[in-house]
Amino acid sequence: MENTERILNNKRVALHTLGCRLNSSETGSIAQGFKDRGYDIVEFGEQADVVFINTCTVTDAADSTCRNLIRKAHGSSPEGKIVVAGCYAQMEPERIAGMQGVDLVLGNSEKYKVFEYLDEEKENAIHIDKSWQFYGAATTTADSHTRAFLKIQDGCNYVCSFCIIPFARGRSRAISVQDAVIEAKKLVSQGFKEIVLTGVNIGEYEQASGEKLHDLVAQVLAVDGLERFRLSSVEPNTITDELIEVLKSSPKVLDHFHIPLQSGDDGILKDMRRKYTTSDYKRIIGKLVAAFPNAGFGADIIAGFPGETKEQFENTFNLLKELPITHFHVFPYSKRKNTTAAKMENLIHSGVKKDRVKTLMMFGDAKLNLFSEDQIGKRTKVLFERRNKAGNFEGYSSNFVRVSVVTDLELANQEREVLITGMDNGRLVGELLQ
Ligand code: SF4
């Protein structure tokens, strides 16, 4: 009876995340905070007492999606408290606070204090703190019970001309190696098999903490019980030989790397104020391929940066053709207020941008397909997550391709060796070997 009452009286919270993996991982830790306080987590769009939206402001489209989600949240939970947090909240708090139904607007640091603020009676309260402390290291993922994201760094000191993130997340800061190991041990003790180190620019770890990123990686890899390890996005100019050596030395390291490219043209890279040339990028990929011959590579690419000529776009296309990049993350250039690129002329017509995005996305799909086909006949370790609609168990291979197997076994959160036997509807299928 007591238990039933507790369930009936539990408050409901719906959470939604936009944008990057870092945002997802941060929502994961905030969701855990709600659970610890007795809330039930419900799907976004269901009626809830609290709706928490962790926003992104990387493009105009992201801003407009945030506003649509706020309207949707108010529609499904007219009596609920709507909390809008994160990067877009940090950049346009008044505009968001003026939207119907919004109760709380929390910047990137303040979002961790959501529980304190929820008790406030004041409507449309804005809390934006620019002291940029480090919050939220102990992050778990919002979408899986197998893979945990461990945030080791936040903010960015780079000044890429197109990017608003340093304004939204502040200067670079990081946790110590010692704290990272403590958090990694906690995640493993909670049952997570895979840890992905995240941050806005984890290559800046040393500048932010005074300690070496490769030392942190080595110590996290040494945590007992950890089976799989990956770095999230790493800027190419920050990948050192020492880091590659440490990664290569452990069988726990997965052979998938995400190395932002943004453009395959040196002139555009310079205008973007990136810290590498196309030759540097090729050299880094070459070193990683030498260390991890079966690796898959992800890259962010911006199409239609101001002044990007047809030839410069072709340079990007040709570089992507030449390199073993398998997972394309393509974005149309989006003008962001206060950035250097916002003052540039020669804007690319939106139709041309769309065509370039489409060309790259189609090319990316074709390359991923070829890479997947190339896995047929090979053995790989798959960390299984859940059954798919067809009833087969699915998970990710070590080089980050989805694989499914036909089995009666319950494989959630288990890593098994699989022989890849073929493809079905563009997805890899395999047989369990153990
Ligand atoms: S490295 Fe450049 S693109 Fe990445 S967050 Fe920093 S400024 Fe933005």
> b or e along 136-150 (b: 16 or more beta carbons within 10 Å of the residue's beta carbon)?
bbbbbbbebebbbbb
Phi, psi of 85 (to 5 degrees): -135, 170
Map out the domains of the chain as residue ranges: 2-127, 132-254, 379-432
Closest of 152, 153, 149 to residue 228, by C-alpha: 149
From CA 255, how far away is CA 57, in angstroms rounded? 30
Ligand 1, residues 23, 153, 163, 171: which to mutate, most atoms within 8 A of Cβ? 163
Tell me which amino acid residue 404 is: S
**Nearest-atom index, ligand 1, CA of 157:** 6
Report whether 226 contacts 195 (CB < 8 A): yes
Cα torsion for 168, 263, 232, 419, to the nearest 10°?
Answer: 150
Task: Say what the pLDDT of residue 340 is.
Answer: 96
Burial class (CB in 10 A: 0-12, 13-18, 19+), 9: exposed
Q: Is the CB of 158 under 6 A from ligand 1?
A: yes
Residue bearing the CA closest to ligand 1, atom 1: 158
The length of the chain in residues reads: 434
Tokens at 416, concatenated? 């098994």
Binding site membership of 164 for ligand 1 (Cβ less than 6 Å): no
Ligand 1 pocket, residue 154 CB under 6 Å: no
- Strand stretches in 163-320, DSSP E: 173-174, 194-198, 228-231, 256-258, 296-303
* Tokens encoding 273: 């104020």
Pocket test for ligand 1, best of 201, 202, 234 (most atoms within 8 A of CB): 201
Does residue 219 contact residue 181 with C-beta atoms inside 8 Å?
yes
How many Cβ atoms are within 10 Å of 362's Cβ, its own excluded?
12
Q: What is the pLDDT of residues 368-393, one digit of tens each?
A: 999 999 999 999 999 999 999 999 99
Residue 290 Cα to chain centre, angstroms: 26
Strand partners, 85: 54, 106
Please, where are the H alpha helices in 19-59? 21-36
Residues of the chain predicted below pLDDT 50: 1-6, 142
Q: Does domain 2-127 have CATH number 3.40.50.2300?
A: yes
Structure tokens at 207: 């500048």
Which residues have C-beta within 8 Å of that of residue 37, sequence separation ≥ 6?
115
Q: What are the Cα distances from residue 74, in Å, to 13, 103, 111?
A: 13, 11, 19
CA–CA dist 212, 197 (Å, integer):
14
| Residue indicated by tokens 């809390």 | 127
Strands (E), 215-259: 228-231, 256-258
Q: From the CA of 211, how far away is ligand 1's center (Å)?
A: 21
Q: In sequence order, what E strands does 58-151 have?
A: 81-86, 102-106, 125-127, 147-151
Tokens coding 119? 């008790």
Whole-prediction pTM? 0.90
145 three-state secondary structure: coil
User: Domain 132-254 belongs to what architecture?
Assistant: 2-Layer Sandwich (3.30)
One-character DSSP codes across 334-387: ---TTSGGGG-S-PPPHHHHHHHHHHHHHHHHHHHHHHHHHTTT-EEEEEEEEE
Q: Give the full edge-to-edge strand order of the sheet including 194-198.
A: 147-151, 194-198, 228-231
Which residue has 């999230």 as its token pair? 232
Which residues, in sequence order, are CB contacts of 29 under 8 Å at separation 6+? 136, 138, 139, 140
Half-sphere exposure of 224 (CA within 13 A, CB side): 0
